[in-house]
Structures are given as structure tokens and as C-alpha cells.
Copies of this chain bind each other. A is one copy, B any other.
Amino acid sequence: MADDSLSAFLAGAAAAIGARHVVTDPADQARHLVEWRGLYRGETPAVLRPGTTAEVAEIVRLAAATRTPLVPQGGNTGLVGGQIPVPGAGEVVVSLERLDRIRAVDAAGYTVTVEAGATLEAVHAAAEAVDRLFPLTLASQGSCRIGGNVSTNAGGTAVLSYGNTRDLVLGLEVVLADGRVLNGLRRLRKDNAGYDLKQLFIGTEGTLGIVTAAVLKLLPRPREVAVAFVGLDGPAEALALLARARDEAGSSVTGFEVMAGGAVAFALRHLAGARRPTAADHPWYVLVEISSGAADGTARRLLETALAEAIEAGEVADAVVASSLGQAAEFWRLRHGLSEVQRHEGASIKHDVSVPLADLPAFLVEAEAAVRAAFPGCRPVPFGHMGDGNIHFNVSQPIGADGAAFLARWDEMNAVVHAVVRRYDGSVAAEHGVGRLKRDLLAETRDPVEIELMRRLKTTLDPLGILNPGRVIQAP
């Protein structure tokens, strides 16, 4: 991009949104340019902070006229480099943070209309205030923002019962690549009036349009939640327990997280005040949560019945049902801490994969064997959303080894794990998306017909290639 077209763009942007919202000071830019784990560090001519949808639209119009590449950014919690501007590429960041209003809460209609910059936590609070539930649950919910959740089709721990973000979106407002606004903020649960255009912008990581607002589904708020921490021998036993729990409680099973014993050991060692819920150590653990609409002991009764059956069948070694909200929160804190505590054990290489649910036990056995064979001494500490077949297959370095040398073999480790994933027709980007990290991997692992179709969509919807360029798919 020529300097003068960038200058023209920035001058136009300043006129459109106010000069003070065109952030060029490096200190003020800093929090937008570093991915939280430090894996990506970006550079940008400016961070733009529009305050309205009309301002976002004007920015995109100017960008189209000047061929300025734009990188939309929400809470900057992404894990695949999508939201970080590539150094030297002249990419301008469009932060949606100032579009953070809850536009409307409709308790009787079970919807909330929010702008892209609202944090997930703010949406939870708005729902709770009218005795409703917005079920999307992520470890980053205090900082991630709805626009990012929608653009990445965020998953989390409640997908088993409530679906991914895609399943929770009723309507979208989107700024298209030419600056026009798609007004799709409908609050309808059934609408087959033509193509469902919002699907084009959910999970496409800001490459086809910039989401500025969304209508989200709300649900009845559970009156009672029962949580158990369960010790068992392996993932096959966990799968059997899942079937028992769902047989007993159906879609009221709102959480089913599996954790390798090693992963839990890390949390017990490094998480302040953490204690092992079970009396003894076990090779694997499960956190299971059942919710119910009535506050009459139903959830706890269903959970205890499923656990009793599993214990009788020899599938479960030990199980502790939380006796208070505080204890339940403590079980969840252990689970949510698993990712963070790994840094205390040196370097780790991560995989965000999914396989068909029934294949998960076999996948875990094979993947663990494969990485142990290829990386002697390495410590696989997988955990994840068993109910969705989605595992964060993380591998910590051997004790005492050189962390940098271990990390240097990142691609090699990925190849070993992904080979097993592909044998099971799994996904190498289950919930964190593709971004920059997995773009080339995507092109390798997907059918050429699929890749060509993705390219065609990209060139159809963003013919100038100005929206989050190079993320997800390389335009032709």
C-alpha cells in the first residue's frame, strides 16, 4: 500500500470517528498488539476505535477506496493470531470495544440484542438481571467480546447441552466489505425467508464482514445445578458414564469435561489453594454437571443415580458430588485452571482437536502413544469437552529438558497428533479457529473442493481482500 493512500485513509478515518479514536501512540496501541500468551506480536499504523455501526461502515468504505487492510478486534483473546496485525503489513486494527451497549433485553421473548464490543460477562449479567441464562461459557468470559465469540463460533463448556455460538445467534448486523450494512437483527426463532445470510459471518473470523451487533437466544435459568468430580480408569469409562448421565437426564447434562490425571496433578500443584476432590489419585477424571429447572433436588438425584449405576458397573472408581455452590465452583476452578497452570511445568505444545464422540477413547490412547514414542519423556496432559468430542491435547516438555528445543519441534509434534486426528475424520481446529496459525494446515487437511469453495466465498464477499487478509484462507 502506498504511503499516500494510507495517509488518505487515516485522515478520512479521523474525520469519521474523531482524531482521538485513531490511536497511533505505541503505548496506547500496546494492549491491542500482543496476544495474551505472547505468541503473536503485531504492528499497526493505527488502532481505530469507532463508537457506532455507522462509523464502522464509514471506516470500511474508506478502506475499500484506499485498499487498506483491516483487522477487526474484540477482546483480543483469540489463540490463533487472527486479531493481531501482521508486522510490516500496514494492517489497521478496528477495535469494536466502544460498541459495547446492551441494546435490548427481551425476557418474555428470551432474547438479548447486544453490540459486538459487549463482553461475554456483560451479556451474562444482562440475562441474569431478567432471570434468564445466556449459556455460552468460556474461561475468558471476563474479557472476550460478543463480536469475537460470533466471528469465531466460540464453543466452551456448555456446548453439549446448548450448542456452539452459532446455535445461539438469532440475528446479526454486519458491515460488509464495501461498507454497506446488512441489517439482520431479527428476533425470530423460525425464519426461512430466503438464504440465512448470517451464517456467512458466524465463524468466518472477520474475513467476510465485520459483525457489529447480534441478537442472541436466552434460555430459562436453571434453578439447581449439581456437579460431581469423578475418578475413573480411562476415557472408555468416561464415555460410558456420559451415556448413563444422558440416559438419566437427557439434555439436562450441561457439562461433561474429561481430564487426564496428569493435567489435574498440574492444577493441584500450581493452583492456589487447590485440593484433590477424590480421596485417592486416579488415571483420569471427569467433571459432570446436571442442571434442572426446578429447585427440588432433581438435578442432584439424577446425578447420583447415574453415578451409582456407573459405580455398580465398575466404570467409576470414586465420585464426589459437590455439597455446596462453593464446592461446585471449586471443581470448576480446577477444570478452568488446567490450561493456565501448564506454563509452570515448562514449555507446552497445544492441539485443539475433535473427533467423533465414540472414537474419543481410541483417539486418546493412540495419540498419547504416538507422542510418547516420538518425544520420549514428554508429558501429554489432555483435557476437554468430552461431550463434544473436543480435546485440548496439550503436551508438556520432559522434566528438565530445554523448553526452547522442545518448542522448536512444534510442527513435528502437531504432525504426529494431527495424523491420528485425521485417521478418525476429526478436526484440527475444533473450537479456537484457524486464524493465521492454521491457515496452511487447513489447506492441507481439507478436501480441495472445500478449499476452492471457501476461496470463492472469500472473493465473492470481499473482492478487494481488505477484511482480515490472509486469515483462514489465502485469497487466490
A13 CB-CB contact with B under 8 Å = no
Stretch at the interface among A286-294, A326-334, A396-404: A286-294
Q: Which residues from chain B contact A358 at a C-beta distance below 8 Å?
A: 106, 108-109
CB distance from A199 to the nearest CB of B (A): 4
Complexed CA–CA distance, A36 and B222 (Å) = 44
Pair B250/A190 contact, Cβ less than 8 Å: no
CB distance from A467 to the nearest CB of B (A): 13
- Complex copy number for this chain: 2
Q: Which residues from chain B contact A472 at a C-beta distance below 8 Å?
A: 194-195
A141 CB-CB contact with B under 8 Å = no
Complexed CA–CA distance, A76 and B451 (Å) = 33
A427 CB-CB contact with B under 8 Å = yes
A300 CB-CB contact with B under 8 Å = no
Complexed CA–CA distance, A187 and B202 (Å) = 20
A239 CB-CB contact with B under 8 Å = yes
- Chain A interface size range: 35 or more
A356 CB-CB contact with B under 8 Å = yes
Contact sample, A vs B, 23 pairs, CB 8 Å cutoff: A108-B243, A109-B357, A110-B246, A159-B190, A161-B251, A176-B449, A182-B447, A182-B449, A189-B387, A190-B427, A191-B430, A192-B203, A193-B438, A193-B446, A195-B457, A197-B450, A220-B249, A220-B250, A248-B293, A249-B293, A250-B293, A251-B252, A294-B305
Q: Which residues from chain B contact A106 at a C-beta distance below 8 Å?
A: 356, 358
- In chain A, positions 312-348 with a C-beta closer than 8 Å to chain B are none
Pair B159/A194 contact, Cβ less than 8 Å: no
Stretch at the interface among A58-66, A163-171, A264-272, A409-417: A163-171
Q: Which residues from chain B contact A109 at a C-beta distance below 8 Å?
A: 356-359, 389
Pair A431/B192 contact, Cβ less than 8 Å: yes
CB distance from A344 to the nearest CB of B (A): 28
A50 CB-CB contact with B under 8 Å = no
Cross-chain contact of A252 among B110, B247, B252, B456 (Cβ < 8 A) = B252
Pair A389/B189 contact, Cβ less than 8 Å: yes
Q: Which residues from chain B contact A250 at a C-beta distance below 8 Å?
A: 219-220, 222, 252, 291-293
Pair A450/B388 contact, Cβ less than 8 Å: no
- In chain A, positions 287-310 with a C-beta closer than 8 Å to chain B are 291-294, 298, 302, 305
Complexed CA–CA distance, A12 and B457 (Å) = 31
Complexed CA–CA distance, A129 and B172 (Å) = 40
A128 CB-CB contact with B under 8 Å = no
Of all chain B residues, the one with the shortest Cβ separation from A452 is B180
A152 CB-CB contact with B under 8 Å = yes
Pair A197/B357 contact, Cβ less than 8 Å: no
A155 CB-CB contact with B under 8 Å = yes
Pair B194/A450 contact, Cβ less than 8 Å: yes
Pair B249/A251 contact, Cβ less than 8 Å: no
Pair A425/B354 contact, Cβ less than 8 Å: no
The contact string, 1 if C-beta is below 8 Å from chain B, for chain A 29-60, is: 00000000000000000000000000000000
Pair A193/B429 contact, Cβ less than 8 Å: yes
Cross-chain contact of A356 among B187, B197, B246, B305 (Cβ < 8 A) = B187
